[in-house]
Amino acid sequence: MVKVLFVCLGNICRSPMAEGVFRRRVAEAELLEHVEIDSAGTHAYHVGEPPDERAQAAAVRRGADISGLRGRQAGVEDLERYDLVLAMDHENYAHLRAICPPGHEHKIRLFLEFATRSDERAVPDPYFGSASGFDRVLDLIEDAAEGLLAEVRARLAR
Residues 6+ apart with CB under 8 A from 35: 1, 2, 3, 4, 26, 152, 156
Q: Report the catalytic residues.
A: 8, 14, 125
- Side-by-side strand order, sheet with 108-110: 35-41, 2-8, 84-87, 108-110
- Per DSSP, the three-state class of 16 is helix
No. of helices (H) and no. of strands (E), the chain: 5, 4
| C-alpha of 32 from chain center | 16
Burial class (CB in 10 A: 0-12, 13-18, 19+), 102: exposed
Gap between the Cα atoms of 144 and 111, Å rounded: 7
CB 141, CB 17: distance < 8 Å: yes
